[in-house]
Amino acid sequence: MTTWAQTLETVRAIASDIPDGNGDYKIDAAILLRYANFALGTVASRHADTGVEVLSVTSQSATVPEDCAHVRHCYNDGVELDPTIGNYPKEDEYSLVSRTTLRIGDDSVTSVTIVYDKLYAELVDLMDVIPLPRWLEEAFTFYAASSALAHLATASGDLSQWDTKIDSGNPEHNPLLRLSEFYQKRADTSMLRYQ
């Protein structure tokens, strides 16, 4: 199992975020942690973990789990209900009316079983284990590194670090931004390998 501390070093290396003479990095660890959690969300949107939960239904409403990103299926006594949009589903339908509330069309239903896409647990500490399967860690690392490079590109763009005067050709005004885009494409390619 890979920890955030191990992956953080890789992200820093990819983003060329090396410490200066005082041992300080260009990007704060808390900001990189935020980018790592954004990367988890991006990976989860395509390769979510699956959860199954039995929910109590009261007055045609049920509360979905906090880690629910998307309800894939909803069953009442083994019979799948159809998804719909809106606050008032028909008898054999259900709808997700908010991120936390599931509405059931049949008022006699007392419980339903849902199959849903789970959000990955957020990273909080350096020793937290990356909650992804091993085959998704590369994509996760490149998404986080892409965000780190975009951060550096924004800072360097604000400082006009890359401004040059060239009379001909097409100068690259911010090569870090192009590299950030490259790493994002690399992360996308990595995830596509496993679909």
CB-CB contact of 102 with 112 (8 Å): yes
Residues 151 and 63 in one domain: no
- The structure tokens listed for 47 are 């390769």
pLDDT band at 154 (very low <50, low <70, confident <90, very high): confident
Is 167 a member of any domain?
Answer: no
The pLDDT of residue 3 is 94
Is 79 a member of any domain?
Answer: yes
The pLDDT of residue 90 is 87
CATH code for the domain of 89: 2.60.40
pLDDT band at 26 (very low <50, low <70, confident <90, very high): confident
The pLDDT of residue 1 is 82
Regarding beta strands 82-83 and 93-96, do their DSSP bridges make them parallel or antiparallel, or are they unpaired? parallel
Average pLDDT over residues 145-153: 86
Residues 40 and 75 in one domain: no
Domain limits for position 37: 4-47+121-161+173-192
The pLDDT of residue 168 is 47
pLDDT higher at 157 or 195: 195
CB-CB contact of 40 with 132 (8 Å): yes
- pLDDT exceeding 90 applies to what percent of the chain? 48
Residues 61 and 38 in one domain: no
What total of structural domains would you count in the chain? 2
pLDDT band at 156 (very low <50, low <70, confident <90, very high): low
DSSP readout, 99-127? SSEEEES-TT--EEEEEEEEPPPPP-STT
Does 164 score more than 60 pLDDT? no
Does 72 score more than 60 pLDDT? yes
pLDDT higher at 87 or 185: 185
Rg, C-alpha atoms of the chain: 22
Average pLDDT over residues 131-145: 92
Is 87 a member of any domain?
Answer: yes
| Orientation angle between helical segments 29-46 and 137-158, nearest 10 degrees | 130
- The structure tokens listed for 22 are 């005082």
b/e sequence 9-32, b meaning 16+ C-beta within 10 Å: ebbbebbebeeeeeeeebbeeeeb
Burial of 95 (0-12, 13-18, 19+ CB in 10 A): buried
For 76-116, how does the pLDDT look when each residue is reduced to its tens digit (9 = 90+)? 999 999 998 877 888 889 998 888 899 999 999 999 999 99
The mean pLDDT value of the chain amounts to 86
Is 180 a member of any domain?
Answer: yes
Alpha-carbon torsion (130, 136, 140, 142), positive or negative: positive
